[in-house]
């Protein structure tokens, strides 16, 4: 795009609430613990809804809360239509949805269709039936290679480390067939070519839609169908090395689109009843992300995460290239990519920007604030990961505290994702920082570092300059601009190191990527800044917003 040219996304209408929504990712285990067992739960989340209302989010995406042995913290689902007792009950869930809606907060569930838990009754039935049983068809079972079938059926490696095949002990007590798992052995993959699997998930969608949910985040959405599992790969470790989808036989198979078209029809049926879309947002990463727009056709997913900014270093050109491309390409697809800077799967934003450049923690936080304000100024939906509104750093945890299966599966080579999942600090000066009630029976499931004391919600609420207040104000302004921020923007390439753009007649946003102050691209005092500077200037690593009066 040339300087001065105007680009942007299609204008939203009210039915399409998701087009401009700020969706807050609730990592339930770590949000708020009401019963004192050290693990966040639905009653805790209900208690925290006012906080989210005050922050001003439009929706929450709730990490999996279904019954699960928690071998991958809920991404191993044993029952898709119930609530894990650790988190509460279906009544708690219904109450949550009702209360969230009363606050005008929509609720998006996390659906895990690629795999289940090995404790899922159908997998248990498949094991019990033995090799000839019909239920094995719902999964991917195969005979092993070599004498006695003792070697895995193929050489593929899992994204979490180790073989994708696990051998079972058959009902006769002897080692027998092997089953396929893209992630851990505790997460057997469903066989999506089997119509029963399709029908079952259609029912799961309807079950939750009937309970009033506003949509689904689809886990590992580029997977589901697989190529020939029995054929050896030339590069079997490609997923394991990349840590993201890279194996073309395991991800991005064309059949998956038909499933999402059928899900879209289900969602659209519900949307027709009350005029409010039921969102489908896909987690599509790795090489599949290259073709992510093919998932965003008018009859498929509404949204997919854009992971590129999340992976990008603090660099003006990188940000500019990614944003420019997405805005331009966005014009051609019905659905939207959602700006994403953090999640429960990656190092915390504030730490990432510090580590990348070997900068100090303060610089990391300054950049995190600036990046957040930058994406909140862009047209399109934004996902905000729990705790990033507080500027939480990645927690450094001792080996003994680590629970992520990645740590175990890689023999400690990869430390895993626990550091960004540590329970939120709400109040006080010492753990559990109000995360659990004062009479709690157990400490938080991951230890909170002492430095969380400086980041509590309580402190940040009363500090005008805090990261929390910054987000609250930004969300309020974004909302008040509403339709005036109509998705058309113009780059203002006037100052080196500064990424600046203007929404016609509404908002000008400028980010200084440099370590020194830079001239602001327009006169006047900004209404919102991540770091103060004399009028006419931008502080190092900062973003400012100027809002036009009408």
Residues of this chain that interact with ligand NOJ (CB under 6 A) are 72, 75, 112, 183, 219-220, 283, 344-345
CB of 423 to ligand NOJ, least distance (A): 17
The least CB distance from residue 124 to ligand NOJ, in Å, is 20
Q: How far is the CB of 220 from ligand NOJ (least distance, A)?
A: 5
Under DSSP, the state recorded for 190 is B
Shortest Cβ 365–ligand NOJ spacing (Å):
25
Q: How far is CA 411 from the centre of its chain?
A: 26
- Cross-strand bridge partners of residue 306: 339
Task: State the distance between the two ends of the chain, measured CA to CA, in whole angstroms.
Answer: 28
Q: Is residue 25 classed as helix, strand or coil in its secondary structure?
A: strand
Please answer whether residues 424 and 452 qualify as being in contact, where contact means their C-beta atoms are separated by less than 8 angstroms. Answer: no
Instruction: Give 181 or 455: the residue with its C-beta nearer to ligand NOJ.
Output: 181
CB of 64 to ligand NOJ, least distance (A): 8
**Nearer to ligand NOJ by C-beta: 179 or 183?**
183
Rounded to the nearest whole angstrom, what is the least distance from the CB of residue 136 to ligand NOJ in the complex?
A: 22
> By C-beta, is 186 or 538 nearer to ligand NOJ?
186
Looking at the Cβ atoms of 51 and 179, the one nearer to ligand NOJ is: 179
Closer to ligand NOJ at the Cβ: 280 or 544?
280
Q: Is residue 208 within 8 Å of 52, Cβ to Cβ?
A: no
Half-sphere exposure of 315 (CA within 13 A, CB side): 12
* Residues whose CB falls within 8 Å of the CB of residue 118, separated by 6 or more in sequence, listed in order: 69, 76, 124, 185, 186, 187, 188
Residues in Cβ contact with 461 at an 8 Å cutoff, skipping those fewer than 6 apart: 468, 469
Considering the complex, what minimum distance in angstroms separates the CB of residue 229 from ligand NOJ?
18
Q: Which of helix, strand or coil describes residue 13? A: coil
Q: Is 251 exposed, middle or buried (0-12, 13-18, 19+ CB in 10 A)?
A: buried
Q: Which residues of 170-181 are buried (b: 16+ CB within 10 A; e: fewer)?
A: eeeeeebbbbbb
**What does R_g of the chain's alpha carbons equal in angstroms?**
24
Distance CA 215, CA 205 (A): 9
Beta carbon nearer to ligand NOJ, 251 or 339: 251
Least distance to ligand NOJ, CB of residue 344, Å: 6
Closest separation in Å from C-beta 283 to ligand NOJ: 6
Closest distance to ligand NOJ from the beta carbon of 288 (Å):
13
- Closer CB to ligand NOJ, 352 or 503, in the complex: 352
Nearer to ligand NOJ, 286 or 434 (CB): 286
DSSP state, 395?
A: P
Coil, helix or strand at residue 88: coil
What is the nearest approach in angstroms of ligand NOJ to the Cβ of residue 285?
8
184: tokens are: 């851990």
Considering beta carbons, is residue 314 or 383 the nearer one to ligand NOJ?
383
Q: Which is nearer to ligand NOJ, 167 or 417 (CB)?
A: 417
Pick 186 or 474: Cβ nearer ligand NOJ: 186
In the bound complex, which residue of the shown chain has the CB atom lying closest to ligand NOJ? Answer: 75
d(CA 425, CA 392): 9
State how far the Cα of 316 lies from the Cα of 468, in Å rounded to an integer: 25
Phi and psi at 25, nearest 5°, equal -85, 115
Q: Are 113 and 208 in contact (CB under 8 A)?
A: no
Rounded to whole angstroms, the Cα distance separating 263 from 201 reads: 9
Cα dist. 50→44, 56, 99 in Å? 11, 10, 9
Could you give the strand order of the β-sheet that contains 165-169, starting from the edge strand earlier in sequence?
Answer: 141-142, 175-180, 165-169
């Amino acid at each position: 795009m040339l300087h001065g040219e105007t680009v942007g996304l299609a204008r939203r209408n009210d039915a399409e609430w998701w087009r401009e929504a700020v969706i807050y990712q609730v990592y339930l285990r770590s949000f708020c613990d009401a019963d004192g067992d050290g693990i966040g739960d639905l009653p805790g989340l209900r208690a925290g809804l006012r906080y989210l209302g005050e922050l001003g989010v439009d929706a929450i995406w709730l990490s999996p809360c279904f019954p699960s042995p928690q071998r991958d913290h809920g991404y191993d689902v044993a029952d898709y239509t119930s609530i894990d007792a650790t988190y509460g009950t279906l009544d708690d869930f219904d109450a949550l949805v009702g209360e969230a809606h009363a606050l005008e907060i929509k609720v998006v569930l996390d659906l895990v269709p690629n795999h289940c838990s090995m404790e899922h009754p159908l997998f248990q039935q498949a094991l019990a039936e033995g090799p000839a049983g019909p239920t094995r068809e719902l999964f991917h079972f195969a005979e092993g290679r070599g004498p006695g079938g003792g070697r895995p059926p193929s050489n593929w490696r899992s994204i979490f480390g180790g073989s994708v095949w696990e051998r079972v002990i058959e009902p006769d007590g002897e080692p027998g067939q092997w089953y396929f798992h893209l992630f851990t052995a505790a997460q057997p993959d469903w066989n999506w070519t089997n119509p029963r699997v399709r029908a079952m998930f259609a029912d799961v969608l309807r079950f939750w839609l009937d309970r009033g949910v506003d949509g689904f985040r689809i886990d590992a959405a580029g997977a589901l169908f697989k190529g020939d599992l029995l054929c050896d790969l030339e590069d079997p470790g490609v997923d394991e090395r990349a840590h993201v989808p890279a194996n073309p036989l395991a991800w991005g198979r064309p059949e998956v689109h038909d499933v999402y078209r059928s899900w879209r029809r289900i969602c659209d049926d519900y949307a027709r009843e009350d005029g409010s879309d039921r969102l489908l947002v896909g987690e599509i990463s790795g090489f599949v992300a290259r073709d992510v727009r093919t998932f965003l056709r008018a009859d498929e997913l509404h949204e997919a995460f854009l992971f590129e900014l999340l992976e990008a270093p603090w660099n003006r050109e990188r940000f500019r290239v990614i944003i420019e491309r997405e805005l331009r390409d966005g014009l051609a697809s019905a659905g939207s990519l959602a700006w994403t800077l953090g999640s429960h799967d990656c190092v915390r934003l504030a730490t990432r920007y510090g580590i990348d450049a070997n900068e100090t923690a303060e610089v990391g936080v300054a950049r995190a604030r600036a990046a957040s304000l930058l994406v909140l100024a862009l047209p399109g939906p934004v996902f905000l990961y729990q705790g990033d509104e507080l500027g939480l750093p990645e927690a450094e945890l001792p080996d003994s505290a680590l629970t992520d299966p990645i740590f175990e599966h890689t023999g400690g080579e990869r430390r895993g994702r626990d550091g960004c999942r540590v329970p939120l600090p709400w109040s006080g000066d010492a753990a559990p920082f109000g995360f659990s009630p004062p009479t709690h029976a157990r400490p938080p499931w991951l230890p909170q570092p002492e430095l969380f004391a400086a980041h509590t919600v309580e402190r940040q609420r009363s500090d005008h300059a805090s990261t929390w207040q910054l987000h609250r104000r930004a969300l309020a302004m974004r909302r008040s601009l509403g339709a005036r921020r109509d998705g058309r923007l113009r780059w203002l390439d006037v100052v080196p190191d500064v990424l600046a753009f203007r929404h016609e007649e509404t908002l000008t946003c400028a980010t200084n990527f440099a370590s020194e102050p830079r001239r602001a691209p327009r006169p006047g005092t900004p209404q919102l800044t991540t770091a103060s500077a004399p009028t006419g200037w931008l502080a190092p690593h900062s973003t400012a917003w100027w809002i036009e009066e009408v």
